[in-house]
Amino acid sequence: ENVSLPFKLYCLTVMTLVAATYTVALRYTRTVETELYFSTTAVCITEVIKLFLSVGILAKETGSLSRLITSLKENVFGSPTELLKLSVPSLVYALQNNMAFVALSNLDVAVYQVTYQLKIPCTALCTVLMLNRTLSKLQWFSVFMLCGGVTLVQWKPAQATKVQVEQNPWLGFGAIAVAVLCSGFAGVYFEKVVKSSDTSLWVRNIQMYLPGIVVTLFGVYMSDGAQVLEKGFFYGYTYYVWFVIFLASVGGLYTSVVVKYTDNIMKGFSAAAAIVLSTVASVILFGLQITVTFSLGAFLVCISIYLYGLPRQDTTKIQPSETKSSKERLATV
């Protein structure tokens, strides 16, 4: 599907701004507000809102209620195979989030920040292997530069604490490796499903969000089940919390649009730019101090975005698998 460059830039810009605003709002709700809410329930509600928004957009796309019902019957409830296909990224993302938590519990924060950024080159590698694309040497260089830049932007020196927590580094590195692979695989898998057929993007979103709701409800039960039963599903919710949930929902929908019309690598660059913007906003709102490492990291992020945009080769479309073998595509690394 041919889409103009200005529209692609518009999608990336909106996603960056929404992601940056979401990060700042989330920080506010977790640091300024006195009563904390259950993050697991917020994630579940986000999936529900994304589902309803997708249904609403699909209704506008189909043009009538009868066509909407017909589309849902044929593509969602009447197609269990497609529904099962889109449940894969939901389950993989759930595994990724849990593995990230295990890794953070068994690794120092600095080590976690560095190793978790390997999801950026991992996404590029999955793009090459799963979508039959080829990245130039300059693009690979910019991807690893982005990885280093994001690491520096998020870098915080480890602080010694009196409470010594028992950690298992091998378990931590194993968990981070699984999380990195899950991140790359799930994003590229969804991109491949979306771009390999003419099925509406919003139908694909509905197919993914339905099992996503089931997965997140299970997460609520496993993590905060007893407390939710005691205090209520919406305990600690304020207007700011609902604003965060709304931003997360809109951001999730825009992520699917970005994946549809650009690719997962560009999504990673957009997310990196959002991290830089949110940190700058936090300096103004929360009095954070900009460090030398942040300045250097922000510079690397900006340069990497510029370098990745230099090649004129279109990497947003799935190429026929017969064109090149995996070894030939990896030879450009």
Q: What is the pLDDT of residue 328?
A: 53
Integer distance in angstroms from the first to the last C-alpha of the chain?
A: 28
Q: How many residues does the chain have?
A: 333
Query: Do residues 131 and 188 make contact, with C-beta atoms less than 8 angstroms apart?
Result: yes
Q: What is the pTM assigned to this prediction?
A: 0.82
**Cα–Cα dist 303/145, whole Å:** 8
Q: What is the pLDDT of residue 321?
A: 52
Residues of the chain with pLDDT under 70: 1-3, 34-35, 157-166, 311-333
Q: Which of 242, 234, 220 is nearest to 25 (CA)?
A: 242
| Summary mean pLDDT of the chain | 85
**Cα–Cα dist 272/253, whole Å:** 18
Query: Do residues 187 and 267 make contact, with C-beta atoms less than 8 angstroms apart?
Result: yes
Residue 162's φ and ψ, nearest 5 degrees, are -75, -30
Q: What is the pLDDT of residue 314?
A: 55
**Cα–Cα dist 265/125, whole Å:** 10
Q: What is the pLDDT of residue 156?
A: 72
Query: Do residues 59 and 202 make contact, with C-beta atoms less than 8 angstroms apart?
Result: no
Query: Do residues 259 and 192 make contact, with C-beta atoms less than 8 angstroms apart?
Result: no
Q: Which of 312, 316, 314 is nearest to 264 (CA)?
A: 316
Domain ranges of the chain: 5-155+167-309
Tokens of 96: 């990724």
pLDDT tens profile 63-116: 889 999 999 998 888 888 888 888 999 899 888 888 887 887 788 777 787 788
Tokens of 227: 């407390």
**What is the separation of C-alpha 206 from the centre of its chain, rounded to a whole number of angstroms?**
17
